[in-house]
Amino acid sequence: MKPDFTILRWAALFEGSSLILLLFVAMPLKYYAEIPMAVKIVGPIHGILFLTFLVLLFSHAAKRELSLLKTITGFFASFIPFGTFIFKAKALG
């Protein structure tokens, strides 16, 4: 039976989007426009989405639905802007 990565794909999309929003919108608003509230809102949301992605990633790995290489790739991709988008497209098909 083929594993269902639907929720992991969505988590990758949301985690990647929140990282981009944090780095390219909220952080510039904080430092250049002096609006720290942007990071106070987006930061925790990104944190929850990041942890959710990792829990789902390692959950699939624990069930041996993902190889060790794909799991490690997904982990490191979550730290790079646009990384989870590429991981989603290449590793999760």
Contact yes or no for 60/5 (Cβ under 8 A): yes
Whether the full predicted model's pTM is greater than 0.85, yes or no, is: yes
Q: What percent of the chain has pLDDT over 90?
A: 94
Domain range for 41 is 10-91
Residue 3 lies in a domain: no
Task: Report if residue 5 sits inside a domain.
Answer: no
Domain membership flag for residue 21: yes
Q: Are 87 and 73 in contact (CB under 8 A)?
A: yes
Instruction: Look at residue 32 and tell me if it is in a domain.
Output: yes
Query: Does the pLDDT of residue 1 top 90, yes or no?
Result: no
Q: What's the domain count of the chain?
A: 1
The answer to whether position 47 is within a domain reads yes
**Are the beta carbons of 12 and 85 closer than 8 angstroms?**
yes
pLDDT at 8 over 80: yes
List, for residues 37-64, the tens digit of each pLDDT value: 999 999 999 999 999 999 999 999 999 9
Q: Which residue has the tokens 């989007």?
A: 17
The verdict on residue 24 lying in a domain is yes
Residue 4 lies in a domain: no
**pLDDT at site 93:** 77
* pLDDT above 80 for 17: yes
The pLDDT value recorded for residue 2 is: 86
**56 closest CA partner among 18, 19, 89, 92:** 92
